[in-house]
Structure 1
Amino acid sequence: MSGFDFRDKVMLVTGGAGGIGSAVCRRFATGGARCVVVDIDEARAKRVAVELPGAGHTALGCDLVDRAQVEHLFDQVADAYGRLDVLVNNVGMTSAERFDVRSVESIEQEITLNLTSPLVATRIAVPLLQASRDARVVTTVSLGGIFPLGETPIYTASKFGLRGAMLALGLDLRSKGILAGSVLPSATDTRMLRQEAVDGGNSMQFQDPPQQPADVVAAVVSLLDKPRLEAYPRTGESRLVRFAMLAPNLLPKVLPLFRQRGERGMARYLEELRRRGLARQIDGRWELVEEK
């Protein structure tokens, strides 16, 4: 049983229509919270909000890289609820396109969404959080915020920066009455990971079978139950990557071994997606099958 009292809490989740975000919203709503489901796809956010148990939920469309939209988002929360008890910064993106051929615009977009937008959202939300008697901020980072993912350096850069920023905010905001912490999951079975797999993305993510969104939700709830700076859905993996970073100069020698294992894991994951009807192979190329 959770020690955190969800009842009547106002809890906002960015990326709320995605695999992890929607699972977080369902868990919060099941506990009696009023959820604000935020997503760039407002129609999907509304579908998630309508299906949540309980009452008092709302769905808001917002492009989190547009500051004017973010300010309007929190104005709407202020008008509807007058406070915010929990902010979950969950939005994120990645790309399988290699660094040497990526456009500068795509690099800037990924950095802005993954790193800058959670900081901006948190800053704009501070007055609403201070109106709560028990304010929390939970940010989804990644083990890629500890361990460099060679095939996705921009994702790595954004997550390294986000992890550091959230550690610092966790220290700074505590004196302002806001408890902040981060969840650092490894590869999670969501649409984003499936897209990365069919695009031939970062094989290092597939050392082991991907975890499920429920595993990330459990880590989020654990942070609410026991506030701390970081939580890891898979503690064993977190220990391994933290240990590896004690000697980063050895990475060029050991990564080829892990990459071979990861490529085999990616192949198994693609076959699993085929069995689940979520991916297909046409003329030797993989593509996603959109879920109905």
Structure 2
Amino acid sequence: MSARRGFDHRGKVVVVTGGAGGIARAFAPRAAERGAVLVLVDVRGEAAQDAAEALPGVGHRGYGCDLTDEAQVRALIGRIEEDHGRIDVLVNNVGMTSCERFDERSVASIRTELEVNLLSPLVLTRLAVPLLRASADPRVVTTVSLGGIFPLGETPIYTASKFGLRGAMLAIGLDLRDKGIRAGSVLPSATDTRMLRREAVEGGNALQFQDPPQSPDVVARAMLRLLDSPRLEVYPRPSEAWLVKAALLVPNALPRLMRLFRRRGERGQAAYLARLEREGVTRRRADGSWELLDAERVLR
């Protein structure tokens, strides 16, 4: 019996949002090396174009787009249709978080975070359906988070957005499966990206530092596994997924469990910041707070 063949990337049009970010920059070269044509989408258009130009192969493009602006999203879909005629793989990878506590942040910031993390992937996926249907083997891959399973008390809006995104993508995966589009999600824990580094420096959620942050490469490999073997969800670190699921079997015990998780997380966050300091990425100020030093060395 011959070995099972994985996803054939050759000539496939792969659209990646958050295309100038760390996870996209780990995934896109792997897909390009396998023969895919990448369309990198980011609110920072020049950064998306730079990332596309750095990929192996030819035909890659970088587009600037604010995914919370429906008019811009529709224009993006139009450009992709004009340039490529279809989407074979849509990777919803855009995301953000805020270090502001719930009782202190503005209502506008709450709406923005929900727009970016939850609504924009759903709107883009919906508007991309006609181009996905033009593909012989369409796929949707969405980066969710273990924060879509376990409540992060210090970042409730991020938690709300990821809980919602996970549920929506499970339902979309079930709905579209019989219509010829296979959709699945990757649920990573803390990943060493620009977003995480900024969050650590600004005193963000310590709970996510139970273990050292994984590299974007680990998440990229999980994305490729999802393409090779379609399913509703994959976890870059399966052991962590089991831990958070087990904790939620007794939700009323969470206040006590959180104290234990937080102490371990605070130690992990301190170790992470110390590592970044040794690498010359961060510096502790005289008042004990931290700052990012070299913007060019901060992972995108």
**3-state DSSP of counterpart to 2:113:** helix
Deviations 1:139-164 (A, max 9, x none): 00000000000000000000000000
Would you say 1:110 and 2:113 are equivalent positions?
yes
Q: How much has 1:266 moved relative to structure 2?
A: 0.3
Deviations 1:202-231 (A, max 9, x none): 000101000000100111001100000000
Would you say 1:285 and 2:289 are equivalent positions?
yes
Would you say 1:125 and 2:134 are equivalent positions?
no
User: Structure 1 CA distance, aligned partners of 2:281 and 2:67?
Assistant: 28
User: Structure 2 CA distance, aligned partners of 1:86 and 1:160?
Assistant: 23
Q: How much has 1:243 moved relative to structure 2?
A: 0.9
* Equivalence for 2:142: 139
Q: State the AA in 2 paired with 1:220.
A: M
| Greater than 3 Å deviation, 4+ residue runs | none
User: Structure 1 CA distance, aligned partners of 2:14 and 2:268?
Assistant: 36
Which among 20, 27, 30 is matched to residue 30 of structure 2? 27
**3-state DSSP of counterpart to 1:176:** coil
Q: How much has 1:275 moved relative to structure 2?
A: 1.0
**3-state DSSP of counterpart to 2:103:** helix
Q: How much has 1:110 moved relative to structure 2?
A: 0.1
* Equivalence for 2:12: 9
Q: How much has 1:271 moved relative to structure 2?
A: 0.5
Would you say 1:86 and 2:89 are equivalent positions?
yes
5+ unaligned residues in a row in structure 2: which ranges?
none
User: Structure 1 CA distance, aligned partners of 2:30 and 2:41?
Assistant: 16
Which among 226, 241, 245 is matched to residue 242 of structure 1? 245
* Equivalence for 2:49: 46
Would you say 1:230 and 2:233 are equivalent positions?
yes
User: Structure 2 CA distance, aligned partners of 1:29 and 1:224?
Assistant: 14
User: Structure 1 CA distance, aligned partners of 2:131 and 2:20?
Assistant: 23
Deviations 1:119-154 (A, max 9, x none): 000000000000000000000000000000000000
* TM-score, reference length from structure 2: 0.96
Alignment of 1:72-221 (within 5 A): 72-221=75-224
User: Structure 2 CA distance, aligned partners of 1:68 and 1:277?
Assistant: 41
Q: How much has 1:260 moved relative to structure 2?
A: 0.6
* Equivalence for 1:58: 61
5+ unaligned residues in a row in structure 1: which ranges?
none
User: Structure 2 CA distance, aligned partners of 1:73 and 1:67?
Assistant: 10
Deviations 1:23-61 (A, max 9, x none): 111111111100001000011111100100001100100
Q: How much has 1:2 moved relative to structure 2?
A: 7.2
Q: State the AA in 2 paired with 1:100.
A: D
User: Structure 2 CA distance, aligned partners of 1:107 and 1:159?
Assistant: 13
User: Structure 1 CA distance, aligned partners of 2:292 and 2:36?
Assistant: 34
**3-state DSSP of counterpart to 2:264:** helix
User: Structure 2 CA distance, aligned partners of 1:147 and 1:108?
Assistant: 21
Contact 1:278–1:291 (CA<8 Å) still a contact in 2?
no
Q: State the AA in 2 paired with 1:22.
A: R
Deviations 1:39-98 (A, max 9, x none): 000111111001000011001000000000000001000000000000000000001110
* TM-score, reference length from structure 1: 0.99
Q: State the AA in 1 paired with 2:66.
A: D
Contact 1:170–1:179 (CA<8 Å) still a contact in 2?
yes
Percent pairwise identity: 64
User: Structure 1 CA distance, aligned partners of 2:71 and 2:273?
Assistant: 40
